[in-house]
Structure 1
Amino acid sequence: MDWQKNLLLAAMAAVVIMLIMRWDDYQQSLVPTEPVAATSANADSSIPTGVSDNTGDVPSLTPPKGDAVSEQPVASQQAISVVTDSLEVSIDTRGGDITRVALPRHYAHIDTPNQPFVLIHSTAGHTYTVQSGLVGKNGTDSAKGRPTFTTAATQYELQEGQDSLEVDLTLTQNDVTITKRFTFHRGEYRVDVDYLIDNNSAAPWQASLYGQIKRDSHEPNSDTGIGMKPFVGAALTTNDERYKKFDFDDLQDKTFTTKIQGGWVSMVQHYFISAWIPNAESQNNFFLRQQGNNDLYLMGFTSEAVTVAAQSQGEIHSEFYAGPKNTTKLEEISSYLDLTVDYGWLWWLAKPLFAVLDYIHGIIGNWGLAIIAVTIIIKAFFFKLSATSYRSMARMRKLAPKMKELKERYGDDRQKMSQETMKLYKTEKVNPLGGCLPMLVQMPVFLSLYWVLMESVELRHTPFLWIPDLSVKDPIFVLPLLMGFTMWLTMRLSPTPPDPMQAKIMQFMPVVFTAMFLWFPAGLVLYWVTNNTLSFLQQMYITKQIEKEDTVKS
């Protein structure tokens, strides 16, 4: 049974590697982020029309001759504060960019409920901002400058009884009045971003809308445990792939462009995203790229050119989302945007599992109890399959004395040992793989639930019994110790490997896994504790049944 020994040794090596990775990630998180370098001024003409050039912020659309965009004067910028029940937003009057987004319903830390989680902001060492504007023939934005809007007030707040709040920024361009309108909605993380064009001139007005997220490669600190590193980077949907993601290293190699009707582009991190969702009826050019040679990346879109006839009005619509990765809400906003809740290649199993978990939570009202309930349901679903596995393991355990005798007799003759072992299995009607194969069939389901609990923002800052937050480690390590204890109990009912080295490895495994699970999110450890407990009870019940059957036979 050398393959079992090798498999266990490989598992032990993997655990050690993950411990080293965890320590390395922790050390890196202690290093302060370096300030972002200044942007280069050199342009790269290889970027296609409709996509940002290689260094500037503003996408490049080549206007027809004689219609060059006039340079906008740089005026003093001013911050506009917007407060709703779901969002706290700062908007810069220069360009109308969103420079800060805080989420009052999701506080920064469990012990500071008065401090909202800040998703979007820029500091001396970190850049994360959201830009939008008009480019093209009569665009307001160009490589030469950004417009400065005027506004009726600098502070806006959604009042009681209000379902929505409009914030208008206005700009006069010759005889054209342009209003950049942000519409906030009660209970929503989605913001409508519209350009209202009032063309009082004698000529048609034409421009394209662009929206983009500008960010450096800084990765937020994560308490997700050993070897578990959530994805941080850009993602979008294409005609070929519903969900296509790029980490920052990918964008250092090349620029990615695609054209699709509707679509979306997002900046993804653990539990939260920001995303631009342009008009679903428009053919939109999407781009992802590094800005020059700096640690800055742009992910955005440009829409089709919109023409507003002389002496008429027009509108260009888009949406922006900044908030938690809530599957239901993201499904409503745009097709496949919910896939940013990244369950990996097992998403087709994970999504139904989350639906069940969410449904049970709606009934019970407690996420910890919902995790226990879902684990029980899964174990019940696989009860017969697990029973087959445990029955085989129980019979293998009974053969342990005979296997030890064979080891003593033929230990030096591998071929003879193998022959006599197979003969013993045949005589006792035991399948050595009977305990492994049923468990392998169940693994995809349990791995799916594992990733569901890993990705569910609903667990963030959710208490359960003595645990203040199911998304981070148990503060007093009770669950990891229980996990190790239940694992040890289960292994006591398993057959003892004939090889001494293999047996020692098996005895040491609960200790290793307990140490590893000390840093795992409590919700995940709760799942493993429940699963181990149910496995032990089922295995003990089956073992007693077999012993009873053997007593009756004798």
Structure 2
Amino acid sequence: MKISKKFSVTAALAALALVLSGCVQTKNGKPYGFVYDYLAVPGQHVMDWLAHIFGGSYGWAIIVLTVIVRMVLLPVMVKQMRNATVQQEKISMIRPQMTALQKQQKAASTPEEQQAASQAMMALYRNNGISMTGGIGCLPLLIQMPIFAALYAAIRYSPELSKAVFMNIPLGKASWILALLSFLSYLLQGYLSLLGMPEEQKKQMRFTLLLSPVMILFFTMSSPAGLGLYFFVGGLFACLQTLIINFYRPRIRREIQEKMKDQPAPAAPVVPKKVVTPAAKQATAKKVSQKNRNRNAGKQQHHK
């Protein structure tokens, strides 16, 4: 469930970025439209102003813009990462109960037994304050979507930005170097998030944490290098956020243990009893009688 949610969120954000970047229309070679007029043009002004401060370097302008955006979002993102960590620690605490209920679900032979086990699992999550989504939120990424669109359109349609060069890398063209750096920065963030995590959860999260860097790699390989620079610096900030959470993880674990040590174990799932009607009893007796007659007939033919 976590894998599918993570994949759907990442894919949706990538698709939204591509849609926003394609909303700019051109007439007689001049761009226009909502994204260009209200996002790209202000983005160009901000980039021009920052580049002027840093001696005409649009690369440093993008880096400073990324730092500003990430600093504004840092409290929200750290809070969401802390919530996800709390969910992970709670799941680790109730792992034995979850395993027992999962075994009951697999061993269920009737729809009633499966439903009872599923209800018991939902009650276990609810009683321990565990979210079915694992505390994962996409609000910070959604807030950044206008930045993605503005930066993409500004680089594509601004002559200064499209021709700018930073560290011998043309910012208006795709760069495999920045794409690889973005991939590695988010891959490092995924590795750091595994530190201190319970071993059973590491096995489940490895593929999920690899998915986001791969998506970013393919996205930045087909985007201007300026956007790849934004993702690379953003990935470094993500590593910083993860280190902050790892520093507080032992304290979070102690808090969860204190809250959950007196939590009563959930009751075993109650399986509804089957109600056998008289008609069902008669049908069963008829089948048994017919089976006995067939058996006796076979014996008689054998004796003959």
Q: How does 1:477-488 map to 2 (within 5 A)?
A: 477-488=176-187
Question: Residue 410 of structure 1 corresponds to which residue in structure 2?
Answer: 101
Q: How does 1:209-220 map to 2 (within 5 A)?
A: none
- Is the CA contact 2:51–2:58 (under 8 Å) kept in the aligned structure 1? yes
2:234 to 516, 519, 531: 531
How far 1:438 moved relative to its partner? Answer: 4.1
1:362 to 43, 49, 52: 52
Is the partner of 1:542 in helix, strand or coil?
helix
2:168 to 459, 463, 466: 466
How far 1:548 moved relative to its partner? Answer: 4.9
Please give the TM-score of this superposition, normalised by the length of structure 1.
Answer: 0.36
Identify if the C-alpha distance between structure 1 residues 375 and 234 changes in structure 2 by more than 3 Å, giving closer, same or farther: closer
Identify if the C-alpha distance between structure 1 residues 233 and 438 changes in structure 2 by more than 3 Å, giving closer, same or farther: closer
Query: How far apart are the structure 2 equivalents of 1:382 and 1:447?
Result: 15
- Is the CA contact 2:87–2:135 (under 8 Å) kept in the aligned structure 1? no
How far 1:363 moved relative to its partner? Answer: 0.7
Give CA-to-partner distance per residue, 1:69-115, whole Å, 9 cap, x none: xxxxxxxxxxxxxxxxxxxxxxxxxxxxxxxxxxxxxxxxxxxxxxx
1:443 corresponds to 2:147: no
Instruction: State the one-letter code of the partner of 1:471.
Output: G
Question: Residue 382 of structure 1 corresponds to which residue in structure 2?
Answer: 73
Is the partner of 2:172 in helix, strand or coil?
coil
Is the partner of 1:382 in helix, strand or coil?
helix
Identify if the C-alpha distance between structure 1 residues 234 and 383 changes in structure 2 by more than 3 Å, giving closer, same or farther: closer
Of structures 1 and 2, the one with the larger relative CO (CA 8 A, separation 6+) is 2
Q: How does 1:52-131 map to 2 (within 5 A)?
A: none
Query: How far apart are the structure 2 equivalents of 1:358 and 1:546?
Result: 42
- Is the CA contact 1:379–1:531 (under 8 Å) kept in the aligned structure 2? yes
How far 1:510 moved relative to its partner? Answer: 2.1
How far 1:233 moved relative to its partner? Answer: 6.1
Query: How far apart are the structure 1 equivalents of 2:156 and 2:68?
Result: 19
Identify if the C-alpha distance between structure 1 residues 511 and 384 changes in structure 2 by more than 3 Å, giving closer, same or farther: closer
How far 1:441 moved relative to its partner? Answer: 5.4
Gaps of 5+ in 2: 106-116, 259-304
- Is the CA contact 1:485–1:510 (under 8 Å) kept in the aligned structure 2? yes
Query: How far apart are the structure 1 equivalents of 2:183 and 2:238?
Result: 13
Question: Residue 419 of structure 1 corresponds to which residue in structure 2?
Answer: 123
Query: How far apart are the structure 1 equivalents of 2:99 and 2:24?
Result: 55
List, as ranges, runs of 4+ consecutive aligned residues in structure 1 with deviation greater than 6 Å. 225-229, 494-502, 551-554
Instruction: State the one-letter code of the partner of 1:417.
Output: M
Give CA-to-partner distance per residue, 1:479-521, whole Å, 9 cap, x none: 1111111112223417899798886354344234323422321
- Is the CA contact 2:43–2:151 (under 8 Å) kept in the aligned structure 1? no
Is the partner of 1:471 in helix, strand or coil?
coil
Instruction: State the one-letter code of the partner of 1:363.
Output: I
How far 1:539 moved relative to its partner? Answer: 2.5
Question: Residue 270 of structure 2 corresponds to which residue in structure 1?
Answer: none
Is the partner of 2:165 in helix, strand or coil?
coil
How far 1:537 moved relative to its partner? Answer: 0.6
Identify if the C-alpha distance between structure 1 residues 399 and 388 changes in structure 2 by more than 3 Å, giving closer, same or farther: same
Is the partner of 1:5 in helix, strand or coil?
helix
Let me know the Cα RMSD of the aligned residues: 4.2
Instruction: State the one-letter code of the partner of 1:8.
Output: F
Identify if the C-alpha distance between structure 1 residues 376 and 14 changes in structure 2 by more than 3 Å, giving closer, same or farther: closer
- Is the CA contact 1:350–1:449 (under 8 Å) kept in the aligned structure 2? yes
Instruction: State the one-letter code of the partner of 1:5.
Output: S
- Is the CA contact 2:155–2:162 (under 8 Å) kept in the aligned structure 1? no
Instruction: State the one-letter code of the partner of 2:174.
Output: K
1:5 corresponds to 2:11: no
Query: How far apart are the structure 2 equivalents of 1:523 and 1:352?
Result: 16
Is the partner of 1:420 in helix, strand or coil?
helix
Query: How far apart are the structure 1 equivalents of 2:179 and 2:251?
Result: 34
Instruction: State the one-letter code of the partner of 2:82.
Output: R
Identify if the C-alpha distance between structure 1 residues 431 and 527 changes in structure 2 by more than 3 Å, giving closer, same or farther: same
Query: How far apart are the structure 1 equivalents of 2:49 and 2:243?
Result: 32
Identify if the C-alpha distance between structure 1 residues 11 and 542 changes in structure 2 by more than 3 Å, giving closer, same or farther: closer
Bigger helix fraction: 2
Identify if the C-alpha distance between structure 1 residues 529 and 11 changes in structure 2 by more than 3 Å, giving closer, same or farther: closer
Question: Residue 245 of structure 1 corresponds to which residue in structure 2?
Answer: none
Instruction: State the one-letter code of the partner of 2:228.
Output: V
Question: Residue 279 of structure 1 corresponds to which residue in structure 2?
Answer: none
Percentage identity across paired residues of the two chains: 18
Instruction: State the one-letter code of the partner of 1:507.
Output: L
Instruction: State the one-letter code of the partner of 1:416.
Output: A
How far 1:450 moved relative to its partner? Answer: 3.8
Instruction: State the one-letter code of the partner of 1:419.
Output: A
Instruction: State the one-letter code of the partner of 1:466.
Output: N
Please give the TM-score of this superposition, normalised by the length of structure 2.
Answer: 0.61
How far 1:478 moved relative to its partner? Answer: 1.9
Question: Residue 188 of structure 2 corresponds to which residue in structure 1?
Answer: 489
Question: Residue 253 of structure 1 corresponds to which residue in structure 2?
Answer: none
- Is the CA contact 1:343–1:448 (under 8 Å) kept in the aligned structure 2? no
Q: How does 1:147-546 map to 2 (within 5 A)?
A: 230=22, 235=27, 267-268=28-29, 273=30, 340-342=31-33, 344=35, 348=38, 351-364=41-54, 365-402=56-93, 404-411=95-102, 412=105, 413-425=117-129, 434-436=135-137, 438-439=139-140, 442-451=143-152, 452-467=154-169, 469-474=170-175, 477-492=176-191, 493=193, 504-546=207-249
Is the partner of 2:128 in helix, strand or coil?
helix
